[in-house]
Amino acid sequence: MDVLEVALAFAHALGWATYIGGAIAMEVLWRPAQAHIPASQVNVVCQRMGRRYRWIALAALGVIGASGAVGLLVAQPGTHPPVALTSSYGRTLLAVVAGWGVLVALVATMAVVAHPALHARSAAGLDREQRDAARLARRRGIRRMDLMLRCELVVALVVALLGASLASGGIL
């Protein structure tokens, strides 16, 4: 048994478990609980949780990328089919890498752009029209964030299926 290979496999599994399990948990645990808490408190909790969760998700994706790449490099010859577009393994692996790239882009956009924009404070001294416009923009921002979160979850679930198929030679 190669300790490095086991450590990399563990880091890879841990990264995926943290990322996918976290995304499912945020959707299944936190979203329904919001209905029982006043909106002002939901806003405070969302801000705190979003800030922490996004960095945890980005770190998990970083661990997945690093452990996956190093794992491929140090794998003993013959332990997996050739990484080429002519093999199902190679095509599936390419799709996994592409999916991982989409997830990194989505999470980074949410962490750096979408989430901070939702919690930006309105300037003082706005007239009624400007306040309404700011409120509308925030509502749109929340809808956009919800859509991105659901896209992220679907992409993650598909990538996990593709990844799980690699041990059997891939499915594409």
Interaction site with another protein (CB under 8 A): 1-2, 5-6, 9-10, 12-14, 16-26, 28-30, 32-33, 36-38, 41, 44-45, 48-49, 52-53, 56, 157, 160-161, 163-165, 167-169, 171
Taking the complex as a whole, the smallest distance from the CB of residue 48 to another protein amounts, in Å, to 4
Torsion angle of C-alpha atoms 92, 95, 97, 98, degrees rounded to 10:
170
Looking at the Cβ atoms of 33 and 85, the one nearer to another protein is: 33
Angle at 49 between CA 48 and CA 54, to 5 degrees: 110
Which tokens belong to 22?
């976290």
Question: Nearest-CA neighbor of 13 among 56, 63, 69, 73?
Answer: 63
Looking at the Cβ atoms of 42 and 148, the one nearer to another protein is: 42
Buried-state track 129-164, b at ≥16 Cβ within 10 A, e below 16: eeeeeeeeebeebeeebeebbeebbebbeebbebbe
Question: Which amino acid belongs to residue 107?
Answer: V
CB 95 within 8 A of CB 172: yes
Taking the complex as a whole, the smallest distance from the CB of residue 139 to another protein amounts, in Å, to 22
Looking at the Cβ atoms of 22 and 141, the one nearer to another protein is: 22
Taking the complex as a whole, the smallest distance from the CB of residue 158 to another protein amounts, in Å, to 10
Taking the complex as a whole, the smallest distance from the CB of residue 12 to another protein amounts, in Å, to 8
Taking the complex as a whole, the smallest distance from the CB of residue 35 to another protein amounts, in Å, to 8
Looking at the Cβ atoms of 134 and 157, the one nearer to another protein is: 157
